[in-house]
Amino acid sequence: MQAGDIRNGNTFEFEGNVFSVVEFQHVKPGKGAAFVRTKLRNVITGGVVEKTFRPTEKLEDAFVERKDMTYSYVDGELYYFMDNETYEQIPIGKDIVGNSLKFVKENEICKVCSYKGSVFSVEPPLFVELVITDTEPGFKGDTATGATKPAIVETGAKIMVPLFIDNGEVIRIDTRSEEYLSRVK
């Protein structure tokens, strides 16, 4: 791949690391040669760097495998995922999983990301539906202010919810922003 062909989401190897393109901009200054300004995320460490490339510079494509797997259970420092095709159990360390499963219940489908067979991250589903297990009681009419209160969901994670939400209600959560979206009927 040439640097001039870079688009958001592309992954490539550069300087011994694997990067994903977060942002790019083709720049043609009035004087001098054109160049490509990029913001890149290291897919292994998660760090973000800014780099500029000449449009003709060659970059080696990197194939990052994102496989759907079922989150089975946690045992100490290891999280176990089942491959949905082979039914094989794969353990992944807590250092790789991090906080990504705080809204995920057992038996939910997650994306396990790997590069050359080495797992580097786990992506939860974009939206989850969870039951509120602990929150202060709500009052009728507490809807106009947009105020929120803390609540704990069935996975043990804390989230801010509107004042009218009560214990036992099922809510929809966006796992990327970790925000309350709506009640589920």
Report pLDDT digits (tens) over 29-45: 888 889 999 999 888 77
- Write down the pLDDT at residue 71: 93
DSSP state of 137: P
In 3D, which of 75, 71, 66, 76 has the Cα closest to residue 100? 71
Return the top range by mean pLDDT from 120-124, 126-130, 138-142. Answer: 126-130
DSSP state of 97: H
In 3D, which of 147, 176, 145, 65 has the Cα closest to residue 113? 65
179 and 149 co-located in one domain: yes
- Write down the pLDDT at residue 145: 67
CB-CB neighbours of 51 under 10 Å: 14
- Write down the pLDDT at residue 120: 80
Task: Tell me the pLDDT tens digit for each residue of 100-115.
Answer: 888 999 999 999 888 8
The answer to whether the CB of 30 falls within 8 A of the CB of 77 is: no
- In the listed set 44, 61, 78, which residue is the last one of a domain according to the structure? 61
How many whole angstroms from its chain centre is CA 90? Answer: 20
- Cα within 13 Å of Cα(54), Cβ side: 5
57 and 22 co-located in one domain: yes
Q: What is the CATH number of the domain that holds 141?
A: 2.40.50.140
Rounded to 5, what percent of the chain is helix, strand, coil? Answer: 5, 55, 45
Range of the domain at 136: 127-183
Is 154's pLDDT higher than 70? yes
41 and 71 co-located in one domain: no
141 and 168 co-located in one domain: yes
- In the listed set 43, 61, 79, which residue is the last one of a domain according to the structure? 61
- In the listed set 101, 123, 145, which residue is the last one of a domain according to the structure? 123
Number of domains in the chain: 3
97 and 144 co-located in one domain: no
Is 11's pLDDT higher than 90? no
What number is the average pLDDT over the span 47-63? 89
Is 158's pLDDT higher than 90? yes
Is 177's pLDDT higher than 90? no
Q: What is the CATH number of the domain that holds 10?
A: 2.30.30.30
Tokens of 145: 């202010």
